[in-house]
Amino acid sequence: MKVLSSLEIKAVVAELQSLINARVDQIYQPDATEIVLALHRSNLGKNLLRIIPGTALYITTKRRASPKESINFCRFLRKRLGPTKLKEIIQKNRERIVELHFEGKDSYFILIAEFFSKGNLILCDKNYIIISAFQVQLWKDRKIKAKQKYEYPPERKIDFKDFEEFKSYIQANKKESIVKTIALSLNMGGTYAEELCFRAKINKETKDPTEKDVKEIFTQLQILLSEELQPNTIQGEPYPISMHEKGKGEPQDSYNKALDQYYAQFIEEDTEKEQEREKKKNKWEDMITEQEKQRIQVERAIEENKIKAEWIYNNYMEAKEIMDLFKQKKLTELKKKGVEVEGKNLLIEIQ
Protein backbone atom coordinates (compact mmCIF):
# COMPACT_ATOMS: atom_id res chain seq x y z
CA MET A 1 0.00 0.00 0.00
CA LYS A 2 1.28 3.42 -0.99
CA VAL A 3 2.89 5.64 1.66
CA LEU A 4 2.67 9.35 0.79
CA SER A 5 5.92 11.22 0.18
CA SER A 6 6.51 14.79 1.35
CA LEU A 7 5.76 16.04 -2.19
CA GLU A 8 2.45 14.17 -2.25
CA ILE A 9 1.51 15.44 1.20
CA LYS A 10 2.16 18.97 -0.06
CA ALA A 11 -0.38 18.36 -2.86
CA VAL A 12 -2.99 16.93 -0.46
CA VAL A 13 -2.61 19.84 1.97
CA ALA A 14 -2.99 22.36 -0.89
CA GLU A 15 -6.33 20.82 -1.85
CA LEU A 16 -7.50 20.56 1.77
CA GLN A 17 -7.45 24.33 2.17
CA SER A 18 -11.09 24.33 1.04
CA LEU A 19 -11.95 22.78 4.43
CA ILE A 20 -10.80 25.79 6.44
CA ASN A 21 -13.56 26.93 8.84
CA ALA A 22 -15.33 23.59 8.54
CA ARG A 23 -17.04 22.39 11.73
CA VAL A 24 -16.10 19.06 13.31
CA ASP A 25 -19.33 17.04 13.05
CA GLN A 26 -18.10 13.66 14.21
CA ILE A 27 -14.94 11.61 14.69
CA TYR A 28 -14.71 7.93 13.82
CA GLN A 29 -12.07 5.29 14.47
CA PRO A 30 -12.84 2.18 12.40
CA ASP A 31 -9.84 0.33 13.86
CA ALA A 32 -6.51 0.85 15.60
CA THR A 33 -4.82 2.17 12.43
CA GLU A 34 -6.80 5.27 11.45
CA ILE A 35 -9.01 8.21 12.40
CA VAL A 36 -11.74 9.78 10.27
CA LEU A 37 -12.85 13.38 10.85
CA ALA A 38 -16.31 14.31 9.54
CA LEU A 39 -16.02 18.02 8.68
CA HIS A 40 -18.97 20.16 7.61
CA ARG A 41 -18.84 23.46 5.81
CA SER A 42 -22.02 25.18 4.60
CA ASN A 43 -21.04 25.52 0.95
CA LEU A 44 -19.31 22.11 0.74
CA GLY A 45 -21.47 19.84 2.88
CA LYS A 46 -19.86 17.01 4.83
CA ASN A 47 -16.38 15.74 3.98
CA LEU A 48 -14.65 12.74 5.54
CA LEU A 49 -10.96 13.35 6.18
CA ARG A 50 -9.24 9.98 6.55
CA ILE A 51 -5.94 10.05 8.47
CA ILE A 52 -3.80 6.89 8.51
CA PRO A 53 -0.67 7.72 10.55
CA GLY A 54 2.48 6.58 8.79
CA THR A 55 0.63 6.21 5.47
CA ALA A 56 -1.72 8.91 4.16
CA LEU A 57 -4.42 11.52 4.61
CA TYR A 58 -7.09 12.46 2.07
CA ILE A 59 -10.79 13.14 1.60
CA THR A 60 -12.63 9.85 1.28
CA THR A 61 -16.08 8.84 0.10
CA LYS A 62 -15.75 5.42 1.74
CA ARG A 63 -16.85 5.24 5.33
CA ARG A 64 -15.81 2.06 7.09
CA ALA A 65 -17.98 0.61 9.82
CA SER A 66 -16.94 1.69 13.31
CA PRO A 67 -16.84 -0.69 16.28
CA LYS A 68 -19.86 -0.68 18.60
CA GLU A 69 -17.70 0.72 21.39
CA SER A 70 -15.47 3.70 20.62
CA ILE A 71 -11.72 3.24 20.97
CA ASN A 72 -10.18 5.37 23.75
CA PHE A 73 -8.30 7.84 21.52
CA CYS A 74 -11.42 8.41 19.42
CA ARG A 75 -13.51 9.18 22.52
CA PHE A 76 -10.79 11.53 23.70
CA LEU A 77 -10.73 13.43 20.38
CA ARG A 78 -14.52 13.69 20.31
CA LYS A 79 -14.53 15.29 23.74
CA ARG A 80 -11.86 17.87 22.79
CA LEU A 81 -12.54 18.59 19.11
CA GLY A 82 -16.32 18.07 19.04
CA PRO A 83 -17.30 21.75 19.42
CA THR A 84 -14.46 23.20 17.27
CA LYS A 85 -13.77 24.44 13.75
CA LEU A 86 -10.77 23.66 11.56
CA LYS A 87 -8.82 26.92 11.29
CA GLU A 88 -5.56 25.90 9.63
CA ILE A 89 -3.92 22.97 7.81
CA ILE A 90 -0.18 23.17 7.20
CA GLN A 91 2.66 20.92 6.16
CA LYS A 92 5.64 21.45 8.44
CA ASN A 93 8.79 22.44 6.50
CA ARG A 94 7.95 20.14 3.57
CA GLU A 95 8.31 17.20 5.97
CA ARG A 96 5.87 14.30 6.23
CA ILE A 97 4.12 16.10 9.07
CA VAL A 98 0.75 17.87 8.89
CA GLU A 99 -0.70 20.17 11.53
CA LEU A 100 -4.46 20.64 11.84
CA HIS A 101 -5.43 23.60 14.05
CA PHE A 102 -8.87 23.60 15.70
CA GLU A 103 -10.49 26.50 17.50
CA GLY A 104 -13.49 26.44 19.82
CA LYS A 105 -15.24 29.10 21.85
CA ASP A 106 -12.72 28.84 24.69
CA SER A 107 -10.26 26.30 23.32
CA TYR A 108 -7.49 25.80 20.79
CA PHE A 109 -6.00 22.45 19.82
CA ILE A 110 -3.35 21.29 17.37
CA LEU A 111 -3.63 17.78 15.94
CA ILE A 112 -0.26 16.73 14.51
CA ALA A 113 -0.25 13.86 12.01
CA GLU A 114 3.09 12.17 11.37
CA PHE A 115 3.54 10.07 8.23
CA PHE A 116 7.13 8.91 8.66
CA SER A 117 8.28 5.68 10.32
CA LYS A 118 5.31 4.02 12.12
CA GLY A 119 3.42 7.31 12.13
CA ASN A 120 1.44 8.94 14.92
CA LEU A 121 -1.35 11.36 15.79
CA ILE A 122 -0.62 13.79 18.59
CA LEU A 123 -3.10 16.20 20.16
CA CYS A 124 -1.47 19.31 21.64
CA ASP A 125 -2.64 22.53 23.23
CA LYS A 126 -1.87 25.90 21.64
CA ASN A 127 1.63 25.82 23.17
CA TYR A 128 2.45 22.41 21.66
CA ILE A 129 2.23 20.64 25.01
CA ILE A 130 1.09 17.08 24.29
CA ILE A 131 -2.33 16.23 25.72
CA SER A 132 -2.61 12.75 24.27
CA ALA A 133 -1.15 10.61 21.47
CA PHE A 134 -2.33 7.79 19.26
CA GLN A 135 0.79 5.94 20.36
CA VAL A 136 3.27 6.71 23.12
CA GLN A 137 6.73 6.75 21.47
CA LEU A 138 10.07 7.21 23.16
CA TRP A 139 13.40 7.89 21.45
CA LYS A 140 16.79 8.96 22.75
CA ASP A 141 16.20 12.62 21.86
CA ARG A 142 12.42 12.75 21.46
CA LYS A 143 9.42 11.72 23.56
CA ILE A 144 5.82 11.53 22.42
CA LYS A 145 3.71 11.29 25.56
CA ALA A 146 1.34 13.43 27.62
CA LYS A 147 2.61 16.63 29.28
CA GLN A 148 5.77 16.72 27.13
CA LYS A 149 6.54 19.57 24.74
CA TYR A 150 6.14 18.34 21.17
CA GLU A 151 9.52 18.29 19.43
CA TYR A 152 9.84 18.01 15.67
CA PRO A 153 12.25 15.39 14.32
CA PRO A 154 15.51 16.68 12.77
CA GLU A 155 14.70 18.58 9.60
CA ARG A 156 15.87 17.31 6.24
CA LYS A 157 16.52 20.20 3.91
CA ILE A 158 14.76 20.67 0.58
CA ASP A 159 14.67 24.49 0.24
CA PHE A 160 17.99 26.18 -0.59
CA LYS A 161 18.85 29.87 -0.99
CA ASP A 162 21.14 29.20 -3.97
CA PHE A 163 23.01 26.57 -5.95
CA GLU A 164 26.16 26.76 -3.80
CA GLU A 165 24.21 25.82 -0.68
CA PHE A 166 22.55 22.97 -2.57
CA LYS A 167 25.89 21.68 -3.91
CA SER A 168 27.46 21.72 -0.44
CA TYR A 169 24.48 19.88 1.03
CA ILE A 170 24.57 17.17 -1.65
CA GLN A 171 28.31 16.65 -1.16
CA ALA A 172 27.93 16.45 2.63
CA ASN A 173 25.11 13.88 2.40
CA LYS A 174 26.37 11.76 -0.47
CA LYS A 175 25.09 8.16 -0.68
CA GLU A 176 26.10 5.26 -2.93
CA SER A 177 24.14 6.74 -5.88
CA ILE A 178 22.71 10.15 -6.79
CA VAL A 179 19.15 8.80 -6.74
CA LYS A 180 19.56 7.60 -3.13
CA THR A 181 21.17 10.91 -2.16
CA ILE A 182 18.12 12.76 -3.50
CA ALA A 183 15.60 10.29 -2.07
CA LEU A 184 17.02 10.24 1.46
CA SER A 185 18.80 13.56 1.93
CA LEU A 186 16.08 15.66 0.29
CA ASN A 187 13.23 13.59 1.78
CA MET A 188 11.63 13.06 -1.63
CA GLY A 189 11.32 9.30 -1.71
CA GLY A 190 12.48 6.95 -4.45
CA THR A 191 9.77 7.65 -7.05
CA TYR A 192 10.35 11.41 -7.22
CA ALA A 193 14.12 11.05 -6.91
CA GLU A 194 14.02 8.91 -10.06
CA GLU A 195 11.77 11.47 -11.74
CA LEU A 196 14.23 14.25 -10.89
CA CYS A 197 17.16 12.27 -12.34
CA PHE A 198 15.12 11.58 -15.48
CA ARG A 199 14.29 15.26 -15.96
CA ALA A 200 17.92 16.23 -15.36
CA LYS A 201 19.01 13.56 -17.90
CA ILE A 202 21.40 11.96 -15.39
CA ASN A 203 21.97 8.25 -14.81
CA LYS A 204 20.33 7.62 -11.45
CA GLU A 205 23.08 5.16 -10.45
CA THR A 206 25.82 7.80 -10.81
CA LYS A 207 27.84 7.96 -7.62
CA ASP A 208 29.93 11.09 -8.26
CA PRO A 209 27.92 13.56 -10.37
CA THR A 210 29.75 16.44 -11.98
CA GLU A 211 29.07 20.04 -10.99
CA LYS A 212 27.11 20.39 -14.23
CA ASP A 213 24.96 17.38 -13.21
CA VAL A 214 24.33 18.79 -9.75
CA LYS A 215 23.41 22.17 -11.24
CA GLU A 216 20.89 20.55 -13.58
CA ILE A 217 19.40 18.60 -10.65
CA PHE A 218 19.10 21.87 -8.71
CA THR A 219 17.34 23.54 -11.67
CA GLN A 220 14.91 20.66 -12.14
CA LEU A 221 14.25 20.52 -8.39
CA GLN A 222 13.11 24.16 -8.40
CA ILE A 223 10.82 23.45 -11.35
CA LEU A 224 9.38 20.32 -9.75
CA LEU A 225 8.72 22.02 -6.40
CA SER A 226 6.92 24.96 -8.03
CA GLU A 227 4.99 22.88 -10.55
CA GLU A 228 1.21 23.28 -10.57
CA LEU A 229 -0.91 20.32 -9.55
CA GLN A 230 -1.80 17.98 -12.40
CA PRO A 231 -3.45 15.02 -10.66
CA ASN A 232 -3.26 11.83 -12.70
CA THR A 233 -3.03 8.08 -12.40
CA ILE A 234 -0.57 5.79 -14.17
CA GLN A 235 -1.43 2.09 -14.05
CA GLY A 236 -3.71 2.77 -11.08
CA GLU A 237 -1.05 4.69 -9.11
CA PRO A 238 -1.99 8.30 -8.22
CA TYR A 239 0.44 11.19 -8.76
CA PRO A 240 -0.01 14.92 -8.07
CA ILE A 241 2.14 16.08 -11.03
CA SER A 242 3.10 14.86 -14.50
CA MET A 243 5.63 12.04 -14.30
CA HIS A 244 7.88 12.33 -17.36
CA GLU A 245 9.79 9.20 -16.47
CA LYS A 246 6.64 7.02 -16.23
CA GLY A 247 4.80 8.40 -19.27
CA LYS A 248 1.41 10.02 -19.81
CA GLY A 249 -1.14 9.52 -17.06
CA GLU A 250 -4.92 9.61 -16.94
CA PRO A 251 -6.07 13.06 -15.68
CA GLN A 252 -8.06 13.18 -12.42
CA ASP A 253 -10.34 15.89 -10.99
CA SER A 254 -8.22 16.20 -7.86
CA TYR A 255 -5.36 14.43 -6.14
CA ASN A 256 -7.60 13.63 -3.16
CA LYS A 257 -10.07 11.87 -5.47
CA ALA A 258 -7.24 9.94 -7.09
CA LEU A 259 -6.03 8.82 -3.65
CA ASP A 260 -9.56 7.87 -2.63
CA GLN A 261 -9.89 5.64 -5.68
CA TYR A 262 -6.50 4.08 -5.01
CA TYR A 263 -7.01 3.36 -1.30
CA ALA A 264 -10.59 2.15 -1.85
CA GLN A 265 -9.26 -1.22 -3.03
CA PHE A 266 -7.70 -1.79 0.39
CA ILE A 267 -10.81 -0.64 2.24
CA GLU A 268 -12.96 -3.05 0.23
CA GLU A 269 -10.52 -5.81 1.02
CA ASP A 270 -10.70 -4.86 4.70
CA THR A 271 -14.51 -4.81 4.50
CA GLU A 272 -14.57 -8.32 3.05
CA LYS A 273 -12.31 -9.52 5.86
CA GLU A 274 -14.51 -7.78 8.43
CA GLN A 275 -17.62 -9.40 6.94
CA GLU A 276 -15.95 -12.82 7.07
CA ARG A 277 -14.90 -12.22 10.67
CA GLU A 278 -18.43 -11.05 11.49
CA LYS A 279 -19.88 -14.16 9.86
CA LYS A 280 -17.62 -16.45 11.93
CA LYS A 281 -18.36 -14.40 15.05
CA ASN A 282 -22.13 -14.72 14.49
CA LYS A 283 -21.74 -18.48 13.95
CA TRP A 284 -19.88 -18.87 17.26
CA GLU A 285 -22.38 -16.62 19.03
CA ASP A 286 -25.27 -18.75 17.71
CA MET A 287 -23.51 -21.91 18.94
CA ILE A 288 -22.91 -20.36 22.35
CA THR A 289 -26.55 -19.21 22.55
CA GLU A 290 -27.79 -22.69 21.67
CA GLN A 291 -25.45 -24.28 24.21
CA GLU A 292 -26.68 -21.84 26.83
CA LYS A 293 -30.30 -22.80 26.08
CA GLN A 294 -29.40 -26.47 26.41
CA ARG A 295 -27.56 -25.80 29.68
CA ILE A 296 -30.61 -24.00 31.12
CA GLN A 297 -32.89 -26.84 30.00
CA VAL A 298 -30.63 -29.46 31.57
CA GLU A 299 -30.36 -27.49 34.83
CA ARG A 300 -34.14 -27.05 34.90
CA ALA A 301 -34.66 -30.79 34.30
CA ILE A 302 -32.18 -31.64 37.07
CA GLU A 303 -33.99 -29.29 39.47
CA GLU A 304 -37.40 -30.71 38.55
CA ASN A 305 -36.20 -34.32 38.96
CA LYS A 306 -34.64 -33.40 42.29
CA ILE A 307 -37.98 -32.03 43.52
CA LYS A 308 -39.79 -35.15 42.29
CA ALA A 309 -37.27 -37.45 43.98
CA GLU A 310 -37.58 -35.56 47.27
CA TRP A 311 -41.40 -35.76 47.12
CA ILE A 312 -41.32 -39.48 46.44
CA TYR A 313 -38.84 -39.97 49.29
CA ASN A 314 -40.96 -37.96 51.73
CA ASN A 315 -44.29 -39.42 50.51
CA TYR A 316 -43.29 -42.97 49.71
CA MET A 317 -46.51 -44.67 50.89
CA GLU A 318 -48.75 -42.21 49.04
CA ALA A 319 -46.62 -42.56 45.90
CA LYS A 320 -46.86 -46.37 46.13
CA GLU A 321 -50.63 -46.17 46.49
CA ILE A 322 -50.88 -43.91 43.42
CA MET A 323 -48.75 -46.29 41.38
CA ASP A 324 -50.88 -49.26 42.45
CA LEU A 325 -54.10 -47.45 41.47
CA PHE A 326 -52.52 -46.53 38.11
CA LYS A 327 -51.53 -50.16 37.44
CA GLN A 328 -55.10 -51.23 38.34
CA LYS A 329 -56.42 -48.48 36.01
CA LYS A 330 -58.57 -46.99 38.78
CA LEU A 331 -58.68 -43.58 37.13
CA THR A 332 -61.63 -42.33 39.19
CA GLU A 333 -59.76 -43.00 42.42
CA LEU A 334 -56.69 -41.27 41.05
CA LYS A 335 -58.76 -38.22 40.09
CA LYS A 336 -60.12 -37.99 43.63
CA LYS A 337 -56.50 -37.78 44.83
CA GLY A 338 -55.85 -34.91 42.41
CA VAL A 339 -53.79 -37.03 40.01
CA GLU A 340 -54.27 -36.43 36.26
CA VAL A 341 -53.41 -39.14 33.73
CA GLU A 342 -51.99 -38.30 30.30
CA GLY A 343 -51.15 -41.47 28.43
CA LYS A 344 -48.39 -43.16 30.42
CA ASN A 345 -47.69 -40.04 32.51
CA LEU A 346 -49.05 -39.13 35.92
CA LEU A 347 -49.44 -35.43 36.69
CA ILE A 348 -49.18 -34.72 40.41
CA GLU A 349 -49.20 -31.21 41.86
CA ILE A 350 -46.36 -31.02 44.36
CA GLN A 351 -46.60 -28.39 47.10
Q: What is the pLDDT of residue 330?
A: 77
Query: Is 58:12 a contact under the CB 8 Å cutoff?
Result: yes
At position 294, the amino acid (one-letter code) is Q
Q: What is the pLDDT of residue 19?
A: 96
Q: What is the mean pLDDT of residues 158-162?
A: 84
What value does the CA radius of gyration of the chain take, rounded to a whole number of Å? 35
Q: What is the pLDDT of residue 301?
A: 86
- Alpha-carbon distances of 47 from 27, 54, 113, 239, rounded to whole Å: 12, 22, 18, 22
Q: Does 93 share its domain with 25? A: yes
> Which of 97, 130, 155 corresponds to the end of one domain?
155
CA–CA distance, 122 with 133 (Å, rounded to integer): 4
With respect to residue 261, please indicate whether it lies within any of the assigned structural domains: no
Domain count, the chain: 3
Report helix angle 189-199 to 6-16, nearest 10. Answer: 100
Over residues 48-82, the pLDDT tens digits come to 999 999 999 999 998 777 776 667 888 889 989 98
Q: What is the pLDDT of residue 87?
A: 97
Q: Which range is least confidently modeled, 87-96, 128-137, 285-294, 329-338?
A: 329-338
- Alpha-carbon distances of 323 from 99, 221, 338, rounded to whole Å: 87, 104, 13
With respect to residue 256, please indicate whether it lies within any of the assigned structural domains: no
Q: Does 239 share its domain with 313? A: no
Q: Does 142 share its domain with 21? A: yes
CA–CA distance, 80 with 59 (Å, rounded to integer): 22
How large a percentage of the chain has pLDDT more than 70? 95
Domain CATH number, residue 85:
2.30.310.10
CA 207 to chain centre: 40
With respect to residue 267, please indicate whether it lies within any of the assigned structural domains: no
Q: Does 84 share its domain with 215? A: no
Q: Give one DSSP letter per residue of 96-126, joined into a string.
A: SEEEEEEE-SS-EEEEEEE-STT-EEEEEET
Maximum C-alpha span of the chain: 122
With respect to residue 268, please indicate whether it lies within any of the assigned structural domains: no
Q: Does 121 share its domain with 177? A: no
CA–CA distance, 63 with 268 (Å, rounded to integer): 10
Q: What is the pLDDT of residue 155?
A: 79
Q: What is the mean pLDDT of residues 145-152?
A: 92
With respect to residue 265, please indicate whether it lies within any of the assigned structural domains: no
Q: What is the pLDDT of residue 156?
A: 75
With respect to residue 336, please indicate whether it lies within any of the assigned structural domains: yes
With respect to residue 266, please indicate whether it lies within any of the assigned structural domains: no
Q: Residue 244, Cβ neighbours under 10 Å: how many?
A: 11
Q: What is the pLDDT of residue 273?
A: 57
Q: Does 36 share its domain with 149? A: yes
> Which of 155, 171, 189 corresponds to the end of one domain?
155
Predicted TM-score of the model (pTM): 0.73
Q: Does 70 share its domain with 149? A: yes
Q: What is the pLDDT of residue 280?
A: 75
Q: What is the pLDDT of residue 233?
A: 96
Q: Does 23 share its domain with 127? A: yes
What letter would DSSP give residue 149?
B
Over residues 222-268, the pLDDT tens digits come to 999 999 999 999 999 999 999 999 999 999 999 999 999 999 988 76
Q: What is the pLDDT of residue 212?
A: 95
> Which of 251, 280, 308 corresponds to the end of one domain?
251
- Alpha-carbon distances of 88 from 10, 56, 120, rounded to whole Å: 14, 18, 19
Q: Residue 182, Cβ neighbours under 10 Å: how many?
A: 28
Q: Does 174 share its domain with 116? A: no
Q: Does 37 share its domain with 132? A: yes
Over residues 261-313, the pLDDT tens digits come to 999 988 765 555 555 666 677 788 888 888 888 888 888 889 888 888 888 88
Q: Does 244 share its domain with 169? A: yes
Q: Does 303 share its domain with 225? A: no
- b/e map of 288-300 (b: 16 or more CB within 10 Å)? eeeeeeeeeeeee
Does residue 64 sit in helix, strand or coil? coil
Domain CATH number, residue 172:
1.10.8
Q: What is the pLDDT of residue 320?
A: 83
With respect to residue 272, please indicate whether it lies within any of the assigned structural domains: no
Q: Residue 7, Cβ neighbours under 10 Å: how many?
A: 23
Q: Give one DSSP letter per residue of 179-245, joined into a string.
A: HHIIIIITT-HHHHHHHHHHHTT--TT-SS--HHHHHHHHHHHHHHHHPPP--EEETTEEESS--TT
Domain that holds residue 100: 6-155
Give the closest residue to 103 by CA, choosing from 158, 173, 23. 23
